[in-house]
A and B are shown apart, each in its own frame.
Chain A
């Protein structure tokens, strides 16, 4: 499979030349394959948000190279058009809604792309349906009249309407209740299936990672410390704990059991797998 984002020894420095200078990304190299679901994890301040802002040209490398969809982000002219192919959903995106109706807000991106009215309408309707909002009903409402969860989904629709090849989401489920979280992740999965898009998810929720991601990149203090499949990453429990990261709860339980000397698999991720392992243990003792 071909790469859609190639990062080569990327470094980034905040407030260069002032007493507040901080190296926030330190020589990161990472290849992101087209169509993959990648989760980026790391404790607060590890550089996750800074890294993804390099993917649509909001930030440019202080050193190193970032190529996205074949475009070098250091190229000022081409960088300006990156937003068309790379959608970035910020934390609490509902706070960026500004139009009088949900429709016009979701249409903001497509309109900036220079599409015709008919195309715009079609994109808006499709995006709203994708996030489970009624394109006719909700679209007429003011975004400020919706419930918190609906506002969040309307804001995400505003990015989905761009039909980006790469969709980046920075903690999209933070602050939602469990049902809202589940729904939102379902919508994102649906978008991915339909568009074949690459998904990059920045999150603190390890259960989300275990359930959804195909690859995981782990950041610590601006460095990329691990990259691989969720099972590989979460089997390196000691290293993760050392940089302040948790395992998904079921994996934590199974690890404790191993430490007690019980014969269980090392690569358990979900509650169903953990249940299976424990059932096997109990079954053996009961027989």
Chain B
């Protein structure tokens, strides 16, 4: 059985962060990412970290969930730290066999790990606090101006919506197909790569056939419900900015400006 909570999965709640318009959260993440990756020096980074901390506190997310998103990527953080610490030349701090650690290296490594960790924490905030369906609507709304440049914003959003809808169904189906083929003696893991690939056919052919069948049914059902593309379509839950959204966007942009100022002035 497929169980447990997956990385970045929506945690229902009623915090200010949960109630914000999904577009606000996306804008916030973009501003924070720009600050962390492009602009922030030491002081800027501290400012951004402070803002992230406030956001995390406001979200009322359980500490375990927040650390969970870092934990899943801890290896990346450790490797980045070690590479930076060992490969940066400067005043020697310690020597471990052929490896030399410099003072500058430790500082640089600390800084880059902090940047990465902040980025990960912030990137997961919208998915942790927004139902996927609302996040999709937010992304569609943000990229919809690009429609004039030929970006199929509505179609992309619809694809995301359908993917969200059918992932649980297809996982369930996969579980049944695996069990059924096992019951006929299928082994999915033995032999050479060619043999192994061949052994996966009993799983993948039914899954693809099933997905196609579902797609076919779904297309007919959607057309029967008068679906004819994004033009003239309205949304029940039209997105609307409210006062907190303006405040949050204002603060975020002010902090971004501050970070840029600290760097260049």
Q: Which residues of A are in contact with B by a Cβ distance under 8 Å?
A: 14-15, 18, 20, 53, 56, 58, 83-84, 86-88, 90-91, 93, 95-99, 108-109, 112-113, 144, 158-159, 162
Q: Which residues of A contact B184 (CB under 8 A)?
A: 83, 108-109, 112, 158-159, 162
- Which of B3, B4, B5, B205 interacts with A98 by CB under 8 Å? B205
B residues whose Cβ falls under 8 Å from a Cβ of A? 1, 3-5, 173, 176-177, 179-187, 201-202, 205-206, 209-210
Q: How many angstroms from the CA of A20 to the CA of B181 in the assembled complex?
A: 27
Known: A95-B210, A96-B206, A98-B201. A18 touches B181 (CB 8 A): no
One of B176, B185, B201 near A90 (C-beta < 8 A): B176
Contacting pair B202 A90 (CB below 8 A): no
7 smallest A-B Cβ distances: which pairs? A112-B185, A98-B205, A15-B3, A109-B184, A88-B183, A96-B180, A90-B180
* Residue in B4, B173, B201 whose CB lies within 8 Å of A18: B4
Number of interchain pairs (Cβ within 8 Å) = 66
Classify the secondary structure of B's interface with A: helix
Contact between chains at A18 and B179 (CB < 8 Å)? no
Instruction: Identify A96's interface contact among B1, B4, B177, CB under 8 A.
Output: B177
Q: How far is the CA of A75 from the CA of B73 in the complex (A)?
A: 37
Given the complex of chains A and B, what is the CA–CA distance between A144 and B181 in angstroms? Answer: 18
- B210 — which chain A residues lie within 8 A by C-beta? 95
B205 — nearest CB in chain A belongs to which residue? Answer: A98
Given contact pairs A90-B176, A90-B183, A162-B184, enumerate 4 new A-B contacts (beta carbons under 8 Å): A58-B182, A58-B183, A83-B184, A112-B185
With a cutoff of 8 Å between Cβ atoms, the chain B residues found around residue A98 in the complex are 201-202, 205-206, 209
CB proximity of B62 to chain A, nearest CB, Å: 12
State how many angstroms separate the Cβ of B67 from the closest Cβ of chain A. 18
| A60 CB to nearest B CB, Å | 13
The 8 Å CB contact of A97, one of B5, B173, B179, B206, is B206
- B1's contact among A15, A91, A99, A158, by CB below 8 Å, is which? A15
* Cβ–Cβ < 8 Å partners of B202 in chain A: 96, 98, 108
Known contacts: A53-B179, A98-B201. The answer to whether A113 contacts B185 by CB under 8 A is yes
Q: CA of A87 to CA of B185 in the docked complex: distance in angstroms?
A: 10
CB nearest neighbor in A for B210: A95
Task: Say yes or no: B1 contacts A56, CB within 8 Å.
Answer: no
Minimum Cβ distance to chain A for residue B253 (Å)? 38
